[in-house]
Amino acid sequence: MQKDKRLEMLHQTIVAHGYQKSSLLEILHRAQELYGYLDSDLLSYVAENLNLPPSHVYGVAAFYNFFRLRKPGEHVVTSCLGTACYVKGAEEIISAIEREFKLERGKSTADGRLSLFITRCIGACAMAPAVVIDDEVIGKATKEAVIQRIKQLLEGNKPETS
Amino acid sequence: MIHLAETELDAQRSYKYRINVCCSSGCLPFGALKVLKAFEDAVKEFGVQKECKVARTGCIGTCSVGPAVLVEPGDYLYQNVTPEKARLIIRDHVVLGLPVKDMLYGTESYFRKQHRLVMRNAGKIDPYRIEDYIAAGGYSALVKCLMKLSPKEVIDELYVSGLRGRGGAGFPTWQKWNFVARAHRMPKYIIANLDEGDPGVFANRTLAEADPHAILEGMLIAAYATGAEKGYIYIRAEYPLAVETLKKAIEKARAMNLLGEKILEMPFNFDVELRLGAGAFVAGEETAILASVEGKRAMPRPRPPYPAASGLWGNPTLIQNVETLANVPQIVSHGGLWFSKIGVPNCTGTKCFSLTGKVKNPGLIEVPMGITLREVIYDIGGGVAGDRAFKAVLVGGPSGGCLPDTMLDLPIDYESLTKAGAIMGSGGIVVIDDNSCMVDTAKFFVDFCVDESCGKCTPCRVGLRKVQETYKRIMRGEGRAEDLDFLRKLCSYIKEASLCGLGQTAPNPVLTTLRYFGKEYQEHIFEKKCTANKCFRHDGEARNI
């Protein structure tokens, strides 16, 4: 039911852009905003509507780092690895998260509750190192603070057992 | 419009104090919105609504001590403001007239050597209100163009000013405009480049968040001078606040007939659309940005033809960095001659830099061209943080160069930087202290360029990967004597043979570290020693090598 509504909203965006092929990036942004990631059904839908070959749409989606082709975890940690953050020890924070929660950068934990992504600069260089946990930016981050915050989140809303 | 400016100015004059709360991306995570709310509440609490105006503004420049608050008149700058402190400021400063001394930002030298031209309105106007911009003299340059100047006279003015592209390469702006103006094919397009992909750089974002209308006015003047009718602002999707601010600015400008058809009742049409990038460093390259705006993979193509002749959909296109565009209204208002006196003769005006890394006062600075690196790092930046020793400074992002302390007296202009092996780039200055290993730092940039290489041409795609492999080997302790020569040779091939700016500049960090920090490479290869203790580690703390 809800899925149909999102598809409808996506379709509205496509119409608003007049089915123009050049608006592909805008449409993909909208699709990711609505669904959180771009799976192959969604990409085919966009391709069909813009009258583009599916290979082209997939090619564009895969080219840009911002588009996610796999479902992200329930909570998303994005660590900045721009120059300023790197110089101030972002790498150590990332390694610490990897070890603590047993996941690799760019991937999710086995239970799908947490994803760790790396981004090249969020532009918060004056408060490097910066880590974004869900939508909250943590500036001048330390590994202890970041790990503690993630733990709080994970414990805060445990999946309901039925 | 003059009427509007006067009404707004009158309204502003009726307040005795104006409190500017920085709400840009640098201060927001530290609770700037709560501080803004606290100021508004405190103003009500003390009943000083009629004397004191609280405004939400863009970046004040001191990003390391956010949230920052500027109280006018007198430009009192408060640092690390909290909701509790906000109430104190209203009580003491506004009601009693006594600035709270111990909360003021103490580093006056941070501002002394700066020259705010592009960022003149940053932190002083509310970016969401077009009225604020107009009251500060905004859009008067556009009116001047439409009423008094011919397109050719606008370009002449730019020629006199000596303005050069701020995107990194430093191409004379008037020449670019002239090419597009002379081209016959219609329609013509303008792209404002806000794809600030360099890690460690946030100058363009700050500009868009603080003064979006300056960018729009620059685009409008460019459109008038070149005859373009459609413009795109290509902005990174990673900058949500800047996107939001620009969206609102475009709406406001449309509502006031500053964008659209028959602008200001003159036979002049121009409209602007936002295009979101999606995280590709190469998209900042001018032919790649064209592909991206057209909805394709951002891959560059050989030049010529240059975009000025054949750009978007084969039509003449002017591609200009937003900082360049923001300079234009001032040049038109005050004249090219005035502008040409700022900076140094072959490199006029100012440049915004994001000063970051291991420096005491990081933040967004704007300095006249020709200032030395030493002045920037020590006088403005306050020197190396935490009393460590200075080791290197990286100028110009991942395709820039690492310069040692012996190069600190280098003046900042396009030619001097290129000669030293660095580039102006989009304006990043990252200070590196003795905690960092230069071999490891160079590899970090190589990793970045390998990730971001679009894969179209072989020197960049394969060459950089070979460089990366060599670094991995050296850092594992398997370096060989011939590696250094191999790196030098391979990098010079990549530089010469790559298709676009990414490949041509990617070897810069390797070449400059080899040139200035050759000793560290020798230590790594022959003694298996890393003085900063970053390489040869197996305890899991080190990078994946």
- Give the start-to-end residue ranges of the domains of chain B: 2-109, 137-340, 348-433, 438-527
Question: B198-202, B296-300, B373-377, B440-444: which has the minimum mean pLDDT?
Answer: B198-202
pLDDT tens-digit readout, B260-317? 999 999 999 999 999 999 988 899 899 999 999 999 999 999 999 999 999 999 999 9
* CB proximity under 8 Å: B 10-29 to A: 25-26, 28-29
pLDDT at B64: 81
| CATH T-level topology, domain B137-340 | Rossmann fold (3.40.50)
pLDDT at B398 over 90: no
pLDDT at B426 over 90: no
In chain A, what are the domains? 2-63 (1.10.10), 75-156 (3.40.30.10)
Q: Indicate the SS3 state at residue B368.
A: strand
B185's tokens? 């094919």
Percent residues over pLDDT 90 in chain B:
77
| CATH T-level topology, domain B438-527 | de novo design (two linked rop proteins) (1.20.1440)
pLDDT at B541: 45
Site of tokens 């999710």: A108
pLDDT tens-digit readout, B179-218? 999 999 999 999 999 998 887 788 999 999 999 999 999 9
**Is the CATH number of domain B348-433 3.30.1700.10?**
no
B178's tokens? 């002239």
Q: Of B161-165, B277-281, B538-542, which one has max mean pLDDT?
A: B161-165
Among chain B residues, the shortest Cα distance to A82 is held by B199
Query: How far does the CA of residue A81 sit from the closest CA of chain B (Å)?
Result: 8
Interface check B354 vs A, CB under 8 A: yes
Q: What are phi and psi of B506, to 5 degrees?
A: -55, -35
CA separation for the pair B521, B437 (Å, rounded): 10
Interface check B444 vs A, CB under 8 A: yes
pLDDT at B403: 95
* Ordered alpha helix ranges (H), B1-94: 2-13, 32-45, 83-89
Residue B191, judged by CB atoms within 10 A of its CB (0-12, 13-18, 19+), counts as: buried
**Number of other CB atoms surrounding residue B360 within 10 Å:** 18
ipTM for the complex shown = 0.87
Query: Checking DSSP bridges between strand A75-80 and strand A114-119, what pairing results, if any?
Result: parallel
pLDDT at B73: 87
Task: Please give the single-letter amino acid code of residue B306.
Answer: Y
Q: What is the largest CA-CA distance in chain A?
A: 50
pLDDT at B66: 78
When pLDDT is averaged across residues B473-493 and rounded to a whole number, the result is 94
* Ordered alpha helix ranges (H), B456-517: 458, 464-476, 483-497, 501-505, 508-516
Q: Which residues in B132-188 belong to E strands, given as ranges?
A: none
Across chain A, mean pLDDT equals 88
**Which strands sit side by side in the sheet containing B401-403, from one edge to the other?**
B363-368, B350-357, B428-433, B390-395, B401-403
pLDDT at A158 over 80: no
pLDDT at B325 over 50: yes
pLDDT at B543 over 60: no
Kindly list the distances between the CA atom of residue B459 and the CA atoms of B136, B170, B453, B454, B507, in Å, as whole numbers in the listed order: 50, 25, 10, 12, 11
pLDDT at B13 over 60: yes
What is the pLDDT confidence band of residue A161, given thresholds at 50, 70 and 90? very low
Across chain B, mean pLDDT equals 92
- Alpha carbon B342 to its chain's center: 19
Residues A49-88 as b or e (16 or more Cβ within 10 Å = b): ebebeeebbbebbebbbbbbeeebbbbbbbbbbbbbbbbb
pLDDT tens-digit readout, B124-138? 999 999 999 999 999
pLDDT tens-digit readout, B337-366? 999 999 999 899 999 999 999 999 988 999
CA separation for the pair A90, B430 (Å, rounded): 15
pLDDT tens-digit readout, B58-67? 988 888 887 8
Architecture of domain B2-109: 3-Layer(aba) Sandwich (3.40)
**Preferred mutation among B34, B205, B233, B238 to probe A, highest tally of A CBs within 10 A:** B238
pLDDT at A100: 92
Site of tokens 């949500």: B240
Q: Which residues of B touch A124 (CB under 8 A)?
A: 25-26, 29, 202
CB contact (8 A) between residue A22 and residue B362: no
Helix (H) or strand (E) holding A143: helix A143-156
**Of the partner residues A21, A64, A125, the one whose CB lies closest to the CB of residue B356:** A125
Query: How far does the CA of residue A1 sit from the closest CA of chain B (Å)?
Result: 29
Q: What are phi and psi of A114, to 5 degrees?
A: -140, 135
**Which strands sit side by side in the sheet containing B271-276, from one edge to the other?**
B271-276, B230-235, B189-194, B317-321
Question: How many H helices and E strands in chain B?
Answer: 23, 15
pLDDT tens-digit readout, B92-151? 999 998 999 888 887 678 888 999 999 999 999 999 999 999 999 999 999 999 999 999
Residue B162 backbone zone (phi > 0: left; psi -120 to 50: alpha; other: beta): left
pLDDT at A160 over 70: no
